């Protein structure tokens, strides 16, 4: 039967192919779109959209080794890529011999294979043209479909399996389809994201050969999810391929599938059917939805290209470093983190520019002392700059050692506040754009800030809070001495942190570290 949702010329071709097997074989072998409308016409309920035609063109372009597609739910992306493209690649011009269907779990991968099997069993045209086939389970206990008349195999695998050395006779995988291999839980932590990425790069891609094509289909679930990483690699030229993003509404507000959603009312009806605004934005508009439990949202991050100059009328105040020391150098332990920044302006005009490439390494106690000294001197061009260190436990010894070496190291007491509470006190400065980040060099810090509470490591985020809170306390004070004035104008005795340096910088506060200005800031609410 013809499908009247098709363009007239396509209707005529389908009608011809249904009657004439020879014509059907010739036309469907050359064109994936014709193959789809011939064998899967029962899926075509609405006029094919331009973005779907684009997907067909991508599959027909043998020069595209990698295809990354994210499209709104119900767009037919899985039907086109995970079913039709697989079978066309065997029956049609590509002539693929060994295809891997990859799911996040083995159950999901087997479901993809089951969908194809059901079509082979119940779709008369496919049954006639691809018969015989049989199902088997190989030595890896993977589900497989073997299409004997084409000497081809389709195998289902999951991301927790090794795919090294997989072969079908003399063939290595020559087409790999990855469909939704991440979910909201797996992308929540860097560990989870890195695990999937490492498996794709270290196991999956090497399983093929130079002519293997690989397709990734899914949704954008995180700023650093697999599809986003691949998008960046394609954009930078480090990976050959294409990235396509098909939201239900484009930037101009026009629907990408007018055949299915002809009016604004039909779009709104679909939106109401979904029920959840977060799900609508993520699944249909392809927007990465911020976690409402996040202290810091990705949209708050403000970047800078240069430091203020005279025209900006923001006087330079100071350079400082927040330090979060770690006790252990064992693998898996937290790193020692040092985050530095330049402070400009006073009061409501205060702006802090975070410096790129913060320290984030496994360091021993002595190595931490030496690195802190080095950072202090380098940032000051040979003059010593401020070091703020959490004043708790063994870290007191670090402060005392730096004091003894005449470095301006100041303890920042916790006053019983946990890391989340301290970062929350600094979050409004990020939201208001008064803390700014370099275009490059602080990716891991930003990741820990926006993922705080989910990411396994938070050492950089903690060092950031240790830096910001003392600077926040200094924002309304009069002009501090320059580094030169500080180092040259005070005697060695005055440089002792329990007297001269702290008295000069904070004359209206107690010398006692536990009751001084940095302790008070932790009691403030915003």
Identify the three-state secondary structure at position 120.
helix
Q: Given 228, 246, 264, which residue is the final one in a domain?
A: 246
| 18-66 tens-digit pLDDT | 777 787 888 888 999 989 988 898 999 999 999 999 999 999 999 999 9
SS3 content of the chain, % helix, strand, coil (to 5): 40, 15, 40
For residue 32, the model assigns a pLDDT of: 95
329 or 104: which leads in pLDDT: 104
pLDDT of 120 higher than 90:
no
Q: Given 210, 228, 246, which residue is the final one in a domain?
A: 246
DSSP secondary structure letters along 434-481: -EEEESSS-HHHHHHHHTTTTSS--HHHHHHHHHHHHHHHHTTS-PPP
Would you state the structure tokens that stand for residue 427, as one six-digit string?
Answer: 């979050």
Q: For 302, how many CA atoms within 13 A lie in the half-sphere containing its CB? A: 14
Note whether residue 143 is domain-resident.
yes
Q: Which domain holds residue 61?
A: 8-246
Do both 336 and 465 map to the same domain?
A: yes
Do both 182 and 311 map to the same domain?
A: no
| 329-339 tens-digit pLDDT | 565 567 899 99
For residue 482, the model assigns a pLDDT of: 41
Instruction: Assign residue 398 the CATH number of its domain.
Output: 3.30.420.240
Cβ–Cβ < 8 Å for 458, 448: yes
Strand partners, 320: 341, 386
Do both 231 and 330 map to the same domain?
A: no
- In whole angstroms, how far apart are CA 396 and each of 267, 386, 390, 402, 470? 61, 16, 8, 10, 17
Q: Which of 130, 46, 128 is nearest to 83 (CA)?
A: 130
Do both 234 and 361 map to the same domain?
A: no
> What number is the average pLDDT over the span 252-264?
94
125 or 389: which leads in pLDDT: 389
| 339-382 tens-digit pLDDT | 999 999 988 889 999 999 999 998 888 999 999 999 999 999 99
Note whether residue 252 is domain-resident.
no
For residue 390, the model assigns a pLDDT of: 84
418 or 504: which leads in pLDDT: 418
Do both 234 and 314 map to the same domain?
A: no
Do both 27 and 129 map to the same domain?
A: yes
Do both 389 and 469 map to the same domain?
A: yes
Instruction: Assign residue 110 the CATH number of its domain.
Output: 3.40.50.300
> What number is the average pLDDT over the span 58-79?
95
Torsion angle in degrees (nearest 10) through CA of 380, 383, 389, 393: 150
> What number is the average pLDDT over the span 143-157?
89
Q: Given 214, 246, 278, which residue is the final one in a domain?
A: 246
Contacts of 207 (CB under 8 A, 6+ apart): 100, 163, 164, 166, 172, 173, 176
Do both 304 and 432 map to the same domain?
A: yes
Note whether residue 253 is domain-resident.
no
Note whether residue 229 is domain-resident.
yes
Q: Which residue carries 């949209």 as its tokens? A: 299
For residue 6, the model assigns a pLDDT of: 60
Note whether residue 278 is domain-resident.
no
Do both 214 and 338 map to the same domain?
A: no
Note whether residue 276 is domain-resident.
no
Do both 427 and 506 map to the same domain?
A: yes
- In whole angstroms, how far apart are CA 14 and each of 3, 25, 79? 8, 12, 19
Mean pLDDT of the chain: 82
Note whether residue 188 is domain-resident.
yes
Do both 329 and 236 map to the same domain?
A: no
14 or 379: which leads in pLDDT: 379
Do both 197 and 304 map to the same domain?
A: no
> How many structural domains does the chain have?
2
Q: For 492, how many CA atoms within 13 A lie in the half-sphere containing its CB? A: 2
Cis peptide before 249 (omega within 30 of 0): no
| 415-464 tens-digit pLDDT | 667 778 888 888 888 989 999 999 999 999 998 888 876 666 788 999 99
What is the C-alpha separation between 72 and 218, in angstroms, rounded? 9
Note whether residue 275 is domain-resident.
no
> What number is the average pLDDT over the span 102-121?
90
pLDDT of 414 higher than 60:
yes
């Amino acid at each position: 039967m013809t499908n009247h949702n098709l363009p007239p010329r396509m209707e005529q071709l389908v009608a011809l192919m249904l009657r004439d097997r020879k014509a059907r074989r010739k036309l469907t072998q050359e064109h994936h779109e014709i193959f789809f409308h011939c064998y899967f016409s029962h899926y075509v309920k609405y006029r094919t959209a331009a973005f779907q035609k684009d997907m067909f063109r991508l599959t027909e372009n043998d020069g595209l080794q990698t295809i990354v597609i994210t499209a709104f739910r119900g767009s037919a992306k899985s039907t086109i890529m995970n079913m039709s493209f697989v079978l066309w690649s065997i029956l049609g011009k590509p002539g693929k011999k060994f295809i891997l269907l990859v799911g996040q779990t083995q159950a999901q991968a087997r479901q993809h294979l089951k969908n194809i099997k059901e079509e082979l069993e119940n779709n008369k045209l496919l049954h006639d043209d691809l018969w015989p086939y049989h199902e088997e389970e190989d030595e890896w206990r993977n589900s497989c479909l073997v299409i004997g008349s084409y000497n081809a195999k389709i195998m289902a695998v999951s991301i927790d399996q090794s795919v090294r050395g997989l072969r079908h006779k003399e063939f290595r995988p020559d087409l790999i389809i990855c469909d939704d291999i991440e979910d909201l839980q797996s992308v929540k932590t860097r560990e989870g994201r890195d695990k999937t990425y490492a498996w794709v790069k270290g196991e999956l891609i090497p399983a093929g050969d130079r002519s293997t094509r690989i397709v990734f289909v899914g949704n954008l679930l995180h700023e650093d999810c697999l599809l986003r990483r691949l998008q960046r690699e394609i954009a930078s030229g480090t990976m050959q391929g294409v990235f396509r993003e098909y939201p239900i509404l484009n930037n101009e507000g026009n629907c990408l599938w007018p055949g299915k959603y002809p009016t604004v009312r039909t779009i709104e009806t679909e939106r109401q059917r979904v029920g959840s605004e977060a799900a609508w934005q993520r699944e249909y508009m392809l927007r990465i939805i911020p976690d409402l439990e996040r202290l810091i949202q990705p949209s708050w991050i403000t970047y800078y290209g240069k430091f203020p100059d005279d025209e900006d009328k923001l006087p330079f105040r100071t350079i400082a470093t927040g330090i979060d020391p770690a006790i252990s150098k064992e693998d898996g332990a937290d790193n020692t983190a040092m985050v530095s920044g330049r402070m400009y302006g006073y009061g409501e005009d205060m702006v802090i520019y975070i410096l790129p490439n913060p320290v984030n390494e496994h360091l021993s106690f002595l190595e931490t002392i030496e690195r802190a000294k080095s950072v202090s001197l380098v940032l000051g061009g040979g003059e010593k700059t401020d070091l703020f260190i959490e004043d708790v436990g063994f870290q007191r010894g670090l402060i005392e050692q730096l004091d003894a070496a005449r470095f301006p190291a100041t303890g920042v007491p916790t006053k019983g506040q946990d890391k989340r509470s301290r970062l929350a006190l600094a979050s409004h400065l990020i939201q208001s754009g008064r803390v700014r980040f370099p275009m490059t060099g602080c990716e891991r810090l930003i990741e820990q800030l926006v993922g705080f509470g989910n990411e396994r490591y938070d050492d950089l985020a903690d060092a950031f809070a240790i830096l910001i809170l003392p600077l926040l306390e200094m924002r309304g004070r009069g002009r501090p001495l320059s580094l030169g004035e500080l180092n040259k104008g005070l005697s060695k005795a005055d440089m002792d942190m329990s007297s001269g340096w702290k008295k000069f910088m904070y004359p209206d506060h107690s010398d006692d570290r536990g009751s001084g200005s940095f302790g008070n800031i932790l009691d403030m609410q915003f």
